[in-house]
Structures are given as structure tokens and as C-alpha cells.
Structure 1
């Protein structure tokens, strides 16, 4: 017969398994190595909803520290960026030599491709969103700076982002929903809001601000078939060489960013039930891919599957 200690250990193991499955091997441990006096074990709740390229979660639980280790990074299928909006309790994010303390109503952005600790205190709850690494199309320096401090969500656009995440989770609590057209559009709106929040934090007149403007221009012109390095440079009254220098130390060049964003947009469209009647190549053509063989190679290299296989899976066919 199971003892109370056995039941507590089982609840802890079950929570660790749910958390690790939801967040790519994230590990829950006791705060400072000891069980908090306000809890009898490690425990929590998770609900989630797919929002196109992003996924939103509501997470709550007992006091604990969750850790992303180098081992879990290596074994995980993906390493997206993550935002957490604290709704109750207190949280401390530590990544590298940066520590961000969160109070209710504040947001933190961090990189799941690097080890981090997230200390969660009191009766805590968070709205969390994971997003593809290049979805924001923002400069590396802007993202690094954005991860160095908390962001308020008491005023726009942060308040709108918080409302979208919380309302999407409230509508489909405890449901791992399939992608729907409305959810995909909600996800894109959330990504645009987050990009706006981070962009506004850039120093006016800096190269980071110019890179952020270029990224926003590219996102707005993905369906422009004449989009090119030269056209982007001309739109910002600079020479192609100057634009190249501006992005020289970034993870992606301007056109690599455009290709990545176009493939993400195509993947979102392929999973949209309202676009079921459009052929895969009609969707790809609109976003700059004229050759089917080239498109199929690019999609498979980016997502590890063919466009057709992904669409059948996303639409439940």
C-alpha cells in the first residue's frame, strides 16, 4: 500500500514528466534543494493552445526552480525563444550573467537555446509563449538587450499582448488545440506586438534601430516578389554595401531573414483550414517560390519534412 510519501513522490515525478514534455526537457527542482513549507511536493498545471507559429501556455504550480540544462538543449527537437508574463507570485530568470526579477504584470524574454534557471516563488502562475528563433526578425543586439531586463505589460503594446495570450488560453484551457485560422492570426498578431515592444526599446538613431526598421520592412513586404537586397537598401536610402555592413555581424543577412520568414509564413498558411482549397504551390508562389523542386528542398531543409506531409498532418488528413 502506497504511503503518503510515495504519493508525493509520484506527484512530483508526474509533474516533472509533464513539464519536460511541454518544454523540451525542462527540469523542475526544489528551491535551494528543499521542499517549500507551503507545498507538500513539486506540482503544477499546464494548459496550451497552438497559435500558428507560436504556442501559448498557462503554467502554475508550487514553489520550484525549473532548469534548462545543456543536456536538455542537445536532446530537444527545437530551441525557440520564450516569453513569460508573470500573473501571480514572484519569478527570477537567470541566464548566463544576467538576472531578471519579475513581479506580476511584467514580461521576460529568454533564449531556450542556452541554459537558464527560472526560480518561481509563492503561489505563482505565468502566461508563456514560445516562438521560432527568427520569427521577430530583430537584430541580435536588440534581442540580447531585451533579455537583460523585465518589460511592463500595464500599457500598450504589452497590455494588448498579455490580453491576447490570456484570452486565447481562457478560451481553450486544458486543450491542446489544432491550428485554426483564428488561432494562427492571433499568433501572428502576438509576434508583431512582441517585435514592437522590443523595437521600442532600441536606442534612437543606433544601428540597432535601423536594423529593426529593416526587419519590420521585410516582414511587411514578404509577398513582394521584387523584394531583394537592393530594393530593401533603396527603401532605406542606403547603398547595398551599407546594408550588407549593417547586417554583417547578425545571424542572418537581410535576404536570409526574408527566406526564413517566408518559409514560416508558408508553413502557417499550409496549416490554415481556410486555405485548404489553395494548392501548396499557389501559397508558395505568393511568397516568392516559383519552382516546386526548389521550394520543396528549402521547406524540407528548414522543417525536416515535405510541404505535403506537413500539411496533411496539420490539417488532420
Structure 2
């Protein structure tokens, strides 16, 4: 989107300001050493309904006043950002705070604020439509200065970091729209949770709306734990086991089958990896969360039609091109159609 290395030094301030006003409401921007040391690179992606911006630049400060806010665009946005380099300073809602790599920063376009850093810094921001997010300005402001008070902070932090691993790939993925919806739900839940008392009806509603996303994120983080069970997942989310099944059932998810399928996929990757060729099949089973090697082998055969050892030999066998592959003695391992319906 923008690389100031492509501009003469005398034109860099104007180019930077033009890029900033194209992606946000007007601001006052003050730069450190604009004549000699100014540099910036801004890249952008669109993932579903979300706009992602990666900015790396020299020191600057953006000041948005009430006058600027009055000139907002037709569809204002809320930005959610991570500070990936440098120490960032912000003022909003009457408070001043310092932001580091473990913090989430939230700004509402319809609220005055000051933000920036000194020296070389970088941030990764996601913007979402205010109307689609559905959180009032005053709620965003109250939440923005106490995000860490919510138990959802670290969950969203991990989710945002995962989004930024390869935004270009996510942009083209057919699941981008669903991913954008899930991200918006998590942001809404965090803002509502941080802004209100946890006993508040609005907080409970927001937590309920993001429950499936939170359950699946928790399950993925603990997928290799042999003791990961429906009971444990339910306890971690303060719901009954019956409620867990009801919530996931509405989303079309059969929990035990999903867990087994994810573990089998992980096992396939390990078995096909030359780096782990010496790892016994029993150790692969343990690493992927199976408590019994025989149970793992049975599940694997049910899903793929071959044993784990046969899969490994096939995947690691040196390939010799032949005119008719069926004549080479090789077999084709079918794609997993899904594990059997009984639970682990």
C-alpha cells in the first residue's frame, strides 16, 4: 500500500498523511525528524469484512480531536491493534497508558484520542464496521482502558496473533467471511465483558454469543492433552456437559468426533514427516492426545483404511515415477471421511 522509500524525502510527509487520511478520519500528525529520518511501510489485506493494516514506521504521534471526529466517514470503524515493536503511548477516555506486545489496543473512530511512539515502531491493526460490531461508543471507551480486567483478553490476544501469521493466505481462503464473523464476535465479547460487571445481563449475552468460538479455541490449544474431555471443557467454560453438547450441536459440531478427527490429522502430519521418522507409532499416539496406542491404531484404520505404520511407509517411501502408478504396487490412501461415531 505505501513504502516511503519510493518517495523523495521532501514528499514523504505528504505521502504518509495521504495514506493515513485514506484509511481513517482526518488527524493531526506530528513526525520525529521528518526531514532526514522519516520512514514508513504500510501493507493492507481484506479478510472477509475486516480490513487489516500492518504499519512499520519511525516515530510519530496521531492526534484526533473533537473537530476531527465531527468529520467522520459515513460508516465509522473500531480499530483493534497489537503493538509488535516499540513502546506505544496512548490517551483516551481521560486516561493515559503505555502499550506493549502483550496488550490489545482499541480505538473508536467517534472518540478523540492520541496515539504514537518514539523511534522505530510497528503495529498491526484490524478495523471493523461500528454498526456491524454493535457496541456503543461509551462501552468501547470504558472497555478500552480496562481490557485486561476481562478473562477474554488473552483469548482474543492469541486469536489476533494467529490472524497475523499469514493474512495474505487468509484473505483468499473460502472461510474468510466466517473467520471475520468469529473475530468480530470475540471482540464484541471482550469489549462488553471489560466495560461491564460480569453479572450484567449484557455481558452474559455477549459471552453466550461467543461461546462456540471460545470452546473451539480452548480445545485447539489443549488438543494434545490426553485428559481433554467434554467434562473438562464444560468446567472450564462454567457450563454443564449437557449445555456443552447443546451449544455445539446447534453449530453442527459433534465434539468427540471433532477432537478425534483433529488428533488424527495431527498424527498424519507427524507420521509423514521425515524429521520424525524414528518416532515410534506409540509415541506419535501419545503426542497427539491418544491414551492407548491400540486405540489410536484402531481409530486410524477406521478413518483411513490403513494402519499408522502402513501410512508412514507409504508417505516416506522414495517416489519413483512410473507410467502406470497402479502397476508400481503403490496404494492410494483415501481422505479421512470422519472418525466413527462413538466417543473416545
Q: TM-score range by the shorter chain?
A: 0.5 to 0.7
Say which of 161, 166, 171 aligns to 2:164: 166
Q: Distance in 1 between matches of 2:203 and 2:137?
A: 10
Residue aligning to 1:192: 185
The alpha-carbon deviation at position 56 of structure 1 amounts to 1.3
Residue aligning to 2:10: 9
Do residues 203 (structure 1) and 197 (structure 2) align?
Answer: yes
Whose RCO is larger (CA < 8 A, sep 6+)? 1
Q: Which runs of 5 or more structure 2 residues have no equivalent in the other structure?
A: 1-6, 212-344
Do residues 28 (structure 1) and 29 (structure 2) align?
Answer: yes
Query: Residues 23-62 of structure 1: CA distance to partner in whole angstroms, max 9, x if unpaired?
Result: 233443125xxx28xx824431111111233211111100
Q: Distance in 1 between matches of 2:173 and 2:70?
A: 29
Q: Distance in 2 between matches of 1:171 and 1:130?
A: 18
Q: Secondary structure at the match of 1:87?
A: strand
Aligned CA distance change for structure 1 residues 77 and 193 (closer, same or farther; 3 Å): same
Aligned CA distance change for structure 1 residues 185 and 98 (closer, same or farther; 3 Å): same
Say which of 155, 158, 168 aligns to 1:157: 155
**Are 1:100 and 1:149, in contact at CA under 8 Å, matched by a contact in 2?**
no
Residue aligning to 1:128: 125
Do residues 143 (structure 1) and 136 (structure 2) align?
Answer: no
Say which of 63, 68, 79 aligns to 1:67: 63
Say which of 30, 48, 52 aligns to 1:56: 52
Q: Which runs of 5 or more structure 1 residues have no equivalent in the other structure?
A: 1-5, 221-317
Q: Distance in 1 between matches of 2:189 and 2:90?
A: 22
Q: Secondary structure at the match of 2:187?
A: helix
The aligned runs of 1:189-268 (5 Å cut-off) are 189-201=182-194, 202-205=196-199, 209-215=200-206
Say which of 42, 45, 54 aligns to 1:46: 42
Q: Secondary structure at the match of 1:76?
A: coil
The alpha-carbon deviation at position 90 of structure 1 amounts to 1.1
Q: Distance in 1 between matches of 2:29 and 2:138?
A: 30
Query: Residues 145-165 of structure 1: CA distance to partner in whole angstroms, max 9, x if unpaired?
Result: 211245499974133322233
Q: Distance in 2 between matches of 1:57 and 1:136?
A: 18
Q: Distance in 1 between matches of 2:210 and 2:157?
A: 23
Q: Distance in 1 between matches of 2:54 and 2:152?
A: 19
Aligned CA distance change for structure 1 residues 73 and 91 (closer, same or farther; 3 Å): farther
**Are 1:42 and 1:64, in contact at CA under 8 Å, matched by a contact in 2?**
no
The alpha-carbon deviation at position 71 of structure 1 amounts to 3.3
Q: Give the length in aligned residue pairs.
A: 202
Residue aligning to 1:84: 81
**Are 2:147 and 2:190, in contact at CA under 8 Å, matched by a contact in 1?**
no
**Are 2:76 and 2:130, in contact at CA under 8 Å, matched by a contact in 1?**
yes
Q: Distance in 1 between matches of 2:76 and 2:153?
A: 29
The alpha-carbon deviation at position 74 of structure 1 amounts to 0.9
Q: Distance in 1 between matches of 2:189 and 2:159?
A: 10
Q: Secondary structure at the match of 2:13?
A: helix
**Are 2:48 and 2:177, in contact at CA under 8 Å, matched by a contact in 1?**
yes
Residue aligning to 2:264: none
- Give 1 or 2 for the bigger CA radius of gyration: 2
RMSD (CA atoms) = 3.3
Q: Distance in 1 between matches of 2:81 and 2:70?
A: 19
Q: Distance in 2 between matches of 1:44 and 1:73?
A: 28
Q: Distance in 2 between matches of 1:17 and 1:192?
A: 32
Q: Distance in 1 between matches of 2:102 and 2:152?
A: 7
The alpha-carbon deviation at position 138 of structure 1 amounts to 4.4
Q: Distance in 2 between matches of 1:16 and 1:87?
A: 22
